[in-house]
Chains A and B, each alone.
Chain A
């Protein structure tokens, strides 16, 4: 089965500073149709997850442009250019390329303000 590995699992960041989260997959996420189905989700405390980025680097509507996704193959990154207080929460990567076994999520990265 495909495994998604995020790092770090805990990310203390000073307000206004950048942050970066890594996500690595045990297999390439390049689909046979040429797309790569790697998404990033933000889960604020007490809230359901919300998608920020899909297909590696496409930002969802309403997502601030301080969030950006990059990567290819097995190696992906979510960057926040300047962390704001509202960014506190847990961030998950998810792959949708390989079925079965189904959508596979990373363990989550908890972002907190230092």
Chain B
């Protein structure tokens, strides 16, 4: 069974940093592109970042470029999102999702990030 388990969320002050982690299991992690998608309170789903199966290629939404960095460790079946210079607008549930053939086929449960003083 495919499982994606996010961790690392929490309360952080504006301008602070946080590193999210996603532990994958139940599939050959190194074969799959992975993404982060977020959802602000009461709002819709927004794609944040993508990393290729071998970590050679990354992509970011414009609103996080230069602030967020996606990475992965295929030896540990983990994907990460380093978030710097956080603002209140980054407050959201962050989901780790698996890409299959131009689509999202599995979601984690999400981790809450709250940016507030």
Contacts and interface: CB of A to CB of B under 8 A. Distances in A.
Contact of B47 (A49, A60, A103): A103
Max chain A C-beta neighbours (<10 A), residue from B47, B62, B109, B110: B47
Q: What's the dominant secondary structure at chain B's contact region?
A: strand
A105 B45 contact: yes
Q: What's the dominant secondary structure at chain A's contact region?
A: loop
Contacts of B103: 37, 39, 51, 54-55, 94, 96
Interface residues of B, number: 20
A97 B45 CA distance: 17
A62 interface: no
A56 B37 CA distance: 21
A101 interface: yes
Interface residues of A, number: 26
Interface in B17-35: 35
Given A49-B107, A107-B44, 12 more contacts: A35-B102, A49-B45, A49-B95, A51-B104, A54-B103, A55-B103, A96-B102, A101-B47, A102-B35, A102-B59, A105-B44, A108-B45
Interface of B: 35, 37, 44-47, 50, 59, 61-62, 95, 101-105, 107-110
